[in-house]
Amino acid sequence: MRYETIGKSLFIRNREKLKAQLKPNSVVIVCSNDIMPTNADGTMPFRQNSNLLYLSGIDQEASILLIAPDFPDQHMQEILFVTETNEHIAVWEGHKYTPAEATETSGIQNVMWSHKFEQTFNTILAETEHIYLYQNEHIRNATEVETRTDRFNTWCHTQYPNYSYERLAPIIYSLRTVKEEREIELMQTACSITEKGFRKAMNIVKPGIYEFELEADILGEFVRNRSKGFAYTPIIAGGGNACVLHYTENKDELKDGDLILMDIGAEYANYASDLTRTIPVNGRYTRRQRVIYESVLKVKNLATDMLRPGNDIPTYHKEVGELMTAELIHLGLLDKTDVKNQDPKWPAYKKYFMHGTSHHIGLDVHDVASIYTKFKEGMVFTVEPGIYIPAEGIGIRLEDDIVITKEGTRNLMRNIPIEIEEIEEIMNT
């Protein structure tokens, strides 16, 4: 893999946490993702199933993980199935895991070739009562594509209808929500790579260049630092484009006097980072841009302080909304009458700040967790308030990735410039 070795101890620990949550005489099956097609014989870059990565570190297609903690034969309690390679595959696709390499990566001693799965699975089920299967239960999941996991689940229910089936998602989502220190280290690396890309962009931004030129330079910096690239489709939005929340065309020329909003993040070892900065195209904020920016930064800093154990996203977002309301009144965008007459289901501040402030982040950018889960130490959140004024062609969003710790919070993006004076100094040096 492009990234440096993670170490098998993380994955051994993750599997032990999972086993502690299972019913007696259970088996867990986790499948890799498909290699997705484009057109003709084209394919998209492979992206592994996050749960398989979390439990094994195996970053290869057509892999299956089986965990059966109570099976009588200890050697059969953890089995990893990988593709049996040959000279043809080696020439056309490159190196695949050997059993020894798969064991070194995952800590799983029993590695079999994939064609042995069905026979082995049948043997395991002879001593099993409960089958744990994964289904994508992310609150925002809206895919119409049938995945390898979906196909396996259908096959399993058809072949073995008399077993008790259990949902893996609630368990593994809960586990993935609280990060191990090694995971936070990997996320810190992703954030540090993102910093390099942002600083590169700051050095080349000027009137007359195009949004896609910034995208290209940022991507190059990411790849030079062992990242596969962007953790999500980047937003490079100059002027009024910043008021389109999911603007991804990145096609326009940057204008003197405008701001440019960059929502970018590198991945590293499949862990995501998620940064937003809004900087002046010509290197100097106007007075109006400055006061709006300071309001967004104030809300971001106060919201970060609210990331404390025991809080939850609905309560937190309501509290942040009250902070933003006060700032919008201060800026003259709202008045007290607007607030008094607001619809509680869509408060007045939503006219200028219509998205949420924070989401979990980890192996997925919008990482798995119930929005009602109470905040705990070890959780990692984005903090990303914004103010969008289409009539003025101004959209300002600021975003960092924050770990909840015993002492308070730790900002994984603390070294990335965010204060107006520092940004202007860098851009004019």
Catalytic status, residue 246: yes
Q: What angle do CA 33, 39, 42 make, to 5 degrees?
A: 60
Judge whether 388 counts as a catalytic residue.
Answer: yes
Task: Judge whether 401 counts as a catalytic residue.
Answer: no
Over the stretch 196-238, which tens digit does the pLDDT of each residue have? 999 999 999 999 999 999 999 999 999 999 999 999 999 999 9
Q: What is the pLDDT of residue 137?
A: 83
Q: Give residue-wise pLDDT tens across range 356-394.
A: 999 999 999 999 988 999 999 999 999 999 999 999 999
Task: Give catalytic status of residue 397 as yes or no.
Answer: yes
CA dist., res. 410 & res. 412, Å (int): 6
- Average of per-residue pLDDT across 296-313: 97
Which of the following is catalytic: 366, 392, 410, 424?
366
| Residue that the structure tokens 């009602």 belong to | 372
Residues 274, 277, 282, 283, CA torsion sign = negative
**Least confident interval from 20-29, 62-71, 87-96, 418-427:** 87-96
Return the closest-CA partner of residue 376 out of 178, 175, 183. Answer: 178
**Residue 92, pLDDT score:** 84
Q: Closest Cα to residue 248, out of 259, 234, 229?
A: 234
Q: Which domains does the chain have, with CATH numbers?
A: 8-176 (3.40.350.10), 181-427 (3.90.230.10)
**Residue 317 is among the residues annotated as catalytic for this protein:** no
Annotation says 366 is catalytic: yes
Is 127 a residue of the active site? no
Mean pLDDT of the residues in the chain: 96
Give the C-alpha separation, 13 to 132, whole Å. Answer: 19
pLDDT tier at 141 (50, 70, 90 boundaries)? Answer: confident
Residue 139: the pLDDT is 82
In this structure, are strands 164-167 and 130-133 parallel, antiparallel, or unpaired?
Answer: parallel
Which among 15, 277, 360, 397 is annotated as catalytic?
A: 397
Instruction: Out of 87, 246, 287, 372, pick the active-site residue.
Output: 246
Q: What is the mean pLDDT of residues 320-344?
A: 96
Catalytic pick from 41, 87, 181, 343? 41
On whether the CB atoms of residues 401 and 275 are closer than 8 A, the answer is yes
Q: Is 359 a catalytic residue?
A: yes
Q: Which of 274, 327, 400, 401 is catalytic?
A: 274
Nearest to 203 by CA among 189, 191, 190, 220: 220
- Over residues 24-37, the mean pLDDT reads 96
Give burial (CB, 10 Å; 0-12/13-18/19+) of 119: exposed
Minimum mean pLDDT range among 86-95, 185-194, 245-254, 256-265: 86-95
What's the whole-model pTM score?
0.96
| From 173, 215, 388, 401, active-site residue | 388
